[in-house]
Amino acid sequence: MKISEIESLEPFTCLQDEFSDVEVQAGYTSDLLSDVMGNAEEGSVLITIQAHKNTVAVSSLAGVVAIIICNNRPVADDMLEAARNEGIAIFQTAENQFNTSALIAQHIGGCPAR
């Protein structure tokens, strides 16, 4: 699944349009940024509630290609600017992290549909 295809999934809204539209290789769900830095796979989408520019910095270091902010958390302008500068897509959803993770996993082949 390409990053641009995430927006076609009903609960997600893309908050900016300047990102590298690459293939998503994996997903990672965490709110602890040191955990993300140490364990997120290159080419993954990060599912989190951490809606600040430090999340972008850690994502860039880890090779994360997109971030999904859950629970309709507000996303600061400086986070969007940092993501734009790094080529990382930012999405927002009203869904919680569990449901978001399950949906993304189904679309990237990490979890069989039931």
Question: What tens digit of pLDDT does each residue of 62-96 get?
Answer: 999 999 999 999 999 999 999 999 999 999 999 99
Closest CA to 15 of 61, 58, 55: 55
What pLDDT is attached to residue 20?
A: 84
What pLDDT is attached to residue 113?
A: 52
Return the CATH fold of 3-108: 3.40.1390
Paired sense of beta strands 89-92 and 13-14, if any: antiparallel
- For the residues 36-41, what does the mean pLDDT come to? 96
Residue 112 three-state SS: coil
What pLDDT is attached to residue 42?
A: 96
Using pLDDT thresholds of 50, 70 and 90, give the confidence band for residue 109: confident
Sheet holding 89-92, edge to edge: 13-14, 89-92, 66-69, 44-48, 26-29
Beta bridge partners of 34: none
In SS3 terms, 20-74 reads as CCCECCEEEECCCHHHHHHHCCCCEEEEECCCCHHHHHHHHHHCCCEEEECCCCC
Reported as a single tens digit per residue, the pLDDT across 3-25 is: 999 988 989 999 987 888 899 99
